[in-house]
A and B are shown apart, each in its own frame.
Chain A
Amino acid sequence: MATTTPTALGARKPLWTRLPIVSHYRMSAGLQRGMLVAGLVLSAVFLLTALLAPVLAPFGFSQLSDAQGNFPTQEPPGDKFLWGTTVSGFDVYSRTLWGAQTAVAVIVVAVVFSIFLGVILGLISGYIGGWLDRVLVVLADAIYAFPSLLLAIVMSIVISQGQSSLWGGIMAAAISITVVFIPQYFRVIRAETVRLKAEPFVESAKVVGASNVRIMAKHIFRNATRSLPLIFTLNASEALLTLAGLGFLGFGIEPTKAAEWGFDLNRALSDASSGIWWTGVFPGAAIVLTVLGLTLVGESMNDLADPRLRMRRKAKRRGGKATA
């Protein structure tokens, strides 16, 4: 194709328009923009809830009584308890809001850990190659082969050893998720590094005489990490699901240390058959909506980053006819 795209030869576009999500929004159109916006709204609600939980929630996450005495148990939604109370007397509304905070903490810690380790290992493995590369790839594949939840359970037992303080619980959940995710980042970065290693600009750096560390840090790192925001968003939703799964199976955080949706769902199990819907529906909906929001953002970014999948506003048709 002999098409030219006029590139702005003047100054670069302002920084904020080049930031991941902003730049994606600016080049989106039609249904893709709708998906992105829906995802962004859901994710924003999730983040704001986490941030403002202390203000929004009428009660604490482990509060069982107030000045008027103990909370009733299994109270249906009403004036005082907006979404009702659980079998142990917790306020469902408050715990759902507080749960967002735990989720954000776990997602951030897990993803940051796995990005750091995954990127460093991927760069070294891809660039140096040889036996180190082979060993790391086999290791990553081995971790892949395990069911991720099973691995997370084992890790959480190893790490927390039965105790579950707030940060102990969060760290245990985060680290067990990290172990599951490192291979993903490792693989993506390694594959990019192997590709970039053969690019003329890396060879050019080699001819110049740059050292390996310099080539990895200056020439490969910044080019290999461009797809990270995308994996970050997609993994964030997966991290949340793993956390909820752990909590549901009872390997999460004690209810007195922090609110956690998976744990609440677990407790709501027996309620479901006796017509008490509110204890399960709200934490469940919170999980579904948050995962949906994060996934929508991630998938939209994925589609928008690929010019072949990206929709564009149609050129105005004047006479004639376009043929595809």
Chain B
Amino acid sequence: MNAHRRDVIGRADGTVLEIKDLEVTFTTDAGEVPAVRGVGFEVAAGEVVAVVGESGSGKSVTARTILGLLAETAVARGAVVLKGSNMLTLGARELRAVRGDEVSMVFQEPSTALNPVYTVGWQIAEGIRAHGKVGRKEAKARAIEVLRKVGIPEPEKRVNYYPHQFSGGQKQRVIIAAALALNPALIVADEPTTALDVTVQAEILELLREVRDDFNTGIVLITHNMGVVADLADRVVVMYQGKIVESAPSSELFAAPREDYTKALLAAVPHLGRHSASEGMVERSGQGKEVLVEARNLSIVYPGRLGTPSFTAVDDVSLHICAGEVYGLVGESGSGKTTIGRAIAGLNKVSAGSLKVFGYEMLDFRERTFKKLRQDIGFVFQDPAASFNPQLSIGECVAEPLLVHKALDARAARRRVDELLEAVQLPAAFAARFPHELSGGQRQRASLARALALDPKLLIADEPTSALDVSVQAKVLELFKELQAELGFAALFISHDLAVVDMLSTWVGVLYRGKLVEEGIGNQVMGDPQHPYTRRLIASLPVPDPVEQALRREAFLKAV
């Protein structure tokens, strides 16, 4: 960036953004719904303000209002003053002039925020050329420059690459580069790391920190992840139901939250190393008990289509799950953890090696012969919204396993459903409701009830809480723990979140690109990881405590 441009960013008063009494109302089929109610905060140059809150708190709507990106059905009032101009009253042409130049945005999903049919260089240059007369060559030169700044290796070559030639983390870097191209005073980052793996997340957070320090850019960080907040934010704004609950400097908020809501929110965040399920254990809990699932040199290959090579999702994995223990399987996306879970449930075919489920060899899988064993396996899916048939009531959904496996009459099934709902702490009246009438947490409880309907010996939980808000997640995990202790089923708990896995499982396996790199008692794996990948994984996980996180960050940067 040239010197002239740097001067343009007026930092005289230091305040880049000022939001006053912002109210946003949506018109929906159910009438008017207020999404943001009287929100106000300021962002200074070179400051990272994190807006945190659970889904529905209005944080994303607030962020979009800053760029003047609101749905047609929304009406906003109040003031969003960006460097002296009110974004709510600007016309379309003025808005276009401001976007990119003064404020830009980093989106949640890097793979959809880039246009797949243009090179990344073209997409960055497009923004540059939209503001002021810049030649094609010069725009490209500047695109290369920003790509270098965000740490893309060989930017001269990569500038001509298409988005699919980059990894997820690199794509997010490209998006940040595009956001930086005109050196805006403010960057709005809406969940910039939610779609990324935790090791990549650490790198992107580091990059955002550099952007703040090097360009003195103000950053509004929208996130639900308190670890990310602790890592990056200078100041935190906590939102709940469209209102600001608390606003404080980061260190203050984490050390001494004032409001009850903030306290509860922070308490619900799982913290690696606290409440470990395997605390004080020296021996595997299922040692010597019956082995329910045994994988020996298991490989699962997804066959390629014509012209594309096949993909090995699980590569030579050996593990076993004993009766009554919770086996935690962690790994990043693409590590094969879900594939293993699905193979045990007979949803995926096994390619090589051996996978024995209750002694049944899954290599010779036949639905007819396996059906009997299905009643001993419960499965909890990741997305509670999609795992219920929208046309059936919760009661009917929970009763489904009973009707399939046991010839129960309607009244007996009904009684059992009531018992199950009570076990997962849902009122019996919920049986008559339909899935869309329940909240995410309630649906996941119902999902648990369905999985436990036949008293299975093994429960497979595939990221059961990753779609839930932290406070809801805490309650569901608590329930899961109680039920497991009470009913004594074995569980395969699959998650990408190390802290969650540590809270629940006594025995942990770490998967990396289809291989099981480490296995052991939970607190030992987390406390003293042996494999370099596990070490990197654990070091990159941000903890919800700014002071501790600063230390961990230094250790992580040293390690990389």
Q: Which residue of chain A is the closest to B25 with respect to CB atoms?
A: A315
20 A-B residue pairings within 8 Å (CB atoms): A1-B64, A2-B57, A2-B60, A3-B33, A3-B35, A4-B33, A5-B28, A200-B387, A201-B390, A203-B381, A204-B379, A208-B400, A208-B404, A209-B371, A219-B389, A315-B25, A315-B32, A320-B23, A320-B77, A323-B88
Chain B contacts of A9 at CB under 8 A?
433, 437
Chain B contacts of A313 at CB under 8 A?
27
Query: When the two chains form their complex, are residues A210 and B400 in contact, meaning their CB atoms are under 8 A apart?
Result: yes
Query: When the two chains form their complex, are residues B389 and A320 in contact, meaning their CB atoms are under 8 A apart?
Result: no
The 5 A-B pairs of least Cβ separation, nearest first, read A320-B77, A209-B374, A200-B387, A4-B56, A2-B60
Binary interface encoding of chain B residues 50-65 relative to chain A, with 1 for a CB under 8 A from any of its CBs, else 0:
0001011111110010
Q: Is A214 an interface residue (CB 8 A)?
A: yes
User: Which residue of B33, B387, B401 contacts A6 across the interface (Cβ within 8 Å)?
Assistant: B33
With the chains together, A6 CA to B76 CA distance in Å?
Answer: 20
Shortest CB-to-CB span from A292 to chain B, Å, is 28
Complex interface residues of chain B between 44 and 99 (CB less than 8 A to chain A):
53, 55-61, 64, 68-78, 87-90, 95
Chain B contacts of A3 at CB under 8 A?
26, 28, 33, 35, 56, 61
Query: When the two chains form their complex, are residues B436 and A223 in contact, meaning their CB atoms are under 8 A apart?
Result: no
Complex interface residues of chain B between 417 and 438 (CB less than 8 A to chain A):
433-434, 436-437
Query: When the two chains form their complex, are residues B76 and A320 in contact, meaning their CB atoms are under 8 A apart?
Result: yes
Residues in B lying within 8 Å of A, measured CB to CB: 23, 25-30, 32-33, 35, 53, 55-61, 64, 68-78, 87-90, 95, 345-347, 371, 374-375, 377, 379, 381-383, 386-392, 397, 400-401, 404-405, 433-434, 436-437, 450
Given A2-B57, A7-B437, the answer on whether A222 and B386 have CB atoms closer than 8 Å is: no
User: Which residue of A1, A210, A321 contacts B88 across the interface (Cβ within 8 Å)?
Assistant: A321
Q: Is A206 an interface residue (CB 8 A)?
A: yes
Query: When the two chains form their complex, are residues A323 and B77 in contact, meaning their CB atoms are under 8 A apart?
Result: no
Q: Is A80 an interface residue (CB 8 A)?
A: no
Shortest CB-to-CB span from B258 to chain A, Å, is 24
Q: Is A82 an interface residue (CB 8 A)?
A: no
Chain A contacts of B74 at CB under 8 A?
315, 322
Shortest CB-to-CB span from B443 to chain A, Å, is 11
Q: Is A207 an interface residue (CB 8 A)?
A: yes
Chain B contacts of A7 at CB under 8 A?
30, 436-437
Query: When the two chains form their complex, are residues B76 and A323 in contact, meaning their CB atoms are under 8 A apart?
Result: yes
Query: When the two chains form their complex, are residues B33 and A5 in contact, meaning their CB atoms are under 8 A apart?
Result: yes
- For the side of the interface on A, what is the size category? 35 or more
Q: Is A319 an interface residue (CB 8 A)?
A: yes
Query: When the two chains form their complex, are residues B450 and A204 in contact, meaning their CB atoms are under 8 A apart?
Result: yes
Shortest CB-to-CB span from A3 to chain B, Å, is 5
Instruction: Given A9-B433, A201-B388, A324-B72, output 16 extra A-B contacts at Cβ < 8 Å.
Output: A7-B30, A200-B387, A203-B347, A203-B381, A204-B388, A207-B377, A209-B374, A214-B404, A219-B392, A223-B390, A312-B28, A313-B27, A315-B75, A318-B75, A318-B77, A320-B89
Given A3-B26, A3-B61, A5-B33, the answer on whether A223 and B391 have CB atoms closer than 8 Å is: yes
With the chains together, A204 CA to B387 CA distance in Å?
Answer: 7
Query: When the two chains form their complex, are residues B27 and A323 in contact, meaning their CB atoms are under 8 A apart?
Result: no
User: Which residue of A203, A206, A222, A319 contacts B391 across the interface (Cβ within 8 Å)?
Assistant: A222
Most chain A beta-carbon contacts within 10 A, residue among B32, B374, B379, B400: B400
Shortest CB-to-CB span from A322 to chain B, Å, is 5
Q: Is A205 an interface residue (CB 8 A)?
A: yes
Interface residue SS majority, chain A: loop
User: Which residue of B29, B346, B434 contacts A27 across the interface (Cβ within 8 Å)?
Assistant: B29
User: Which residue of A2, A205, A312, A315 contacts B59 across the interface (Cβ within 8 Å)?
Assistant: A2
With the chains together, A222 CA to B393 CA distance in Å?
Answer: 13
Chain B contacts of A201 at CB under 8 A?
386-390, 397
Shortest CB-to-CB span from B390 to chain A, Å, is 7
Q: Which residue of chain A is the closest to B384 with respect to CB atoms?
A: A200
With the chains together, A209 CA to B371 CA distance in Å?
Answer: 6
Q: Which residue of chain A is the closest to B29 with respect to CB atoms?
A: A27
Query: When the two chains form their complex, are residues A323 and B434 in contact, meaning their CB atoms are under 8 A apart?
Result: no
Query: When the two chains form their complex, are residues B30 and A5 in contact, meaning their CB atoms are under 8 A apart?
Result: yes
Chain A contacts of B437 at CB under 8 A?
7-9
Chain B contacts of A206 at CB under 8 A?
346-347
Query: When the two chains form their complex, are residues B75 and A210 in contact, meaning their CB atoms are under 8 A apart?
Result: no
Shortest CB-to-CB span from B466 to chain A, Å, is 13
Shortest CB-to-CB span from B355 to chain A, Å, is 16
With the chains together, A268 CA to B153 CA distance in Å?
Answer: 78
Chain B contacts of A312 at CB under 8 A?
27-29, 73
Given A200-B381, A200-B386, A223-B391, the answer on whether A323 and B61 have CB atoms closer than 8 Å is: no
With the chains together, A211 CA to B23 CA distance in Å?
Answer: 52
Chain A contacts of B436 at CB under 8 A?
7
Q: Which residue of chain B is the closest to A4 with respect to CB atoms?
A: B56
With the chains together, A9 CA to B426 CA distance in Å?
Answer: 14
Given A3-B61, A208-B374, the answer on whether A321 and B89 have CB atoms closer than 8 Å is: yes
Given A3-B35, A207-B347, the answer on whether A324 and B70 have CB atoms closer than 8 Å is: yes
Most chain B beta-carbon contacts within 10 A, residue among A9, A207, A314, A321: A207
Shortest CB-to-CB span from A215 to chain B, Å, is 10
Query: When the two chains form their complex, are residues B391 and A317 in contact, meaning their CB atoms are under 8 A apart?
Result: no
Q: Which residue of chain A is the closest to B460 with respect to CB atoms?
A: A207
Q: Is A199 an interface residue (CB 8 A)?
A: yes
Binary interface encoding of chain A residues 283-323 relative to chain B, with 1 for a CB under 8 A from any of its CBs, else 0:
00000000000000000000000000000111111111111
Complex interface residues of chain A between 207 and 230 (CB less than 8 A to chain B):
207-211, 214, 218-219, 222-223
User: Which residue of B32, B379, B392 contacts A207 across the interface (Cβ within 8 Å)?
Assistant: B379
Chain A contacts of B69 at CB under 8 A?
323
Shortest CB-to-CB span from B366 to chain A, Å, is 13
Most chain A beta-carbon contacts within 10 A, residue among B71, B371, B383, B387: B387
With the chains together, A43 CA to B55 CA distance in Å?
Answer: 45
With the chains together, A185 CA to B391 CA distance in Å?
Answer: 21
With the chains together, A4 CA to B434 CA distance in Å?
Answer: 18
Binary interface encoding of chain A residues 1-32 relative to chain B, with 1 for a CB under 8 A from any of its CBs, else 0:
11111111100100000000000000100000
Q: Which residue of chain A is the closest to B79 with respect to CB atoms?
A: A320
